[in-house]
Structure 1
Amino acid sequence: MPRNASVILRYGPYSALGLWVEHRTYRLEGLQAVLTEDGHQITLEEVEDQNIVELLVNGEVVFHCNIQELEFGGDGKLDPLCEEARTAVLEAY
């Protein structure tokens, strides 16, 4: 996949510290940073499936994980899931 791809990042609500279940983007910051650094355009899309993160390229899901497995905040460079997602987007066609 060439740089500057359009990536849809779907994410669902999750519970933090046992509090309300709602859509939050704090755990997506590192993932967004890694993909933006590669030049991709990211569109956030809220979905109702709890704890889910999906990356879509050309309408195809190329990566998915549990949102709570992503590191909170940060630049994503030390998060192995962010690197896995980055590779999945780069290999998409």
Structure 2
Amino acid sequence: MPKKAVVTIRYGPYSAVGLAVEHRTFRLEGLQVVLKKDGHQLILEKMDDWNLVELVVNGEVVFHCNIEDLEFGGDGKLDTLCEEARIAVLNAY
């Protein structure tokens, strides 16, 4: 995949520390930093599936994980899921 691809980050609602289930982006911050560093354009899109994150490139889901498995905040450098997502986007066609 060439650099500067358009990556749609689809994310569902989740419950944080016993609070109500809502769409939150705090756990997506590191993922966004890692993908932007590679020069990709990001689009955040809410979806109804609970606890799910999907990365879509050219209409194809290239990566998915449980949103609660991503580290809260940060730059994504130490989050192994962020690196897996980065590689999945780079290998997308």
Give the alignment of 1:29-44 within 5 angstroms: 29-44=29-44
The 2-side partners of 1:78 and 1:3 are apart by 22
Q: Helix, strand or coil for the counterpart of 1:8?
A: strand
Q: Which residue is equivalent to 1:68?
A: 68
Matched positions, count: 93
- More strand per residue: 1
TM-superposed CA distance for 1:18, in Å, is: 1.1
Segments of structure 2 that go 5 or more residues without pairing to the other structure are none
Runs of 4 or more consecutive aligned structure 1 residues displaced over 6 Å after TM superposition: none
TM-superposed CA distance for 1:24, in Å, is: 0.3
Q: Which residue is equivalent to 2:49?
A: 49
Please give the per-residue CA displacement for 1:23-82, whole angstroms capped at 9, x wherever unaligned. 000000000000000000000000010000000000000000000000000000100000
The 2-side partners of 1:87 and 1:78 are apart by 15
The 1-side partners of 2:73 and 2:16 are apart by 14
Q: Is 1:15 the counterpart of 2:51 in the alignment?
A: no
CA RMSD between the two structures: 0.3
Segments of structure 1 that go 5 or more residues without pairing to the other structure are none
Q: Which residue is equivalent to 2:82?
A: 82
Q: Which residue is equivalent to 1:59?
A: 59
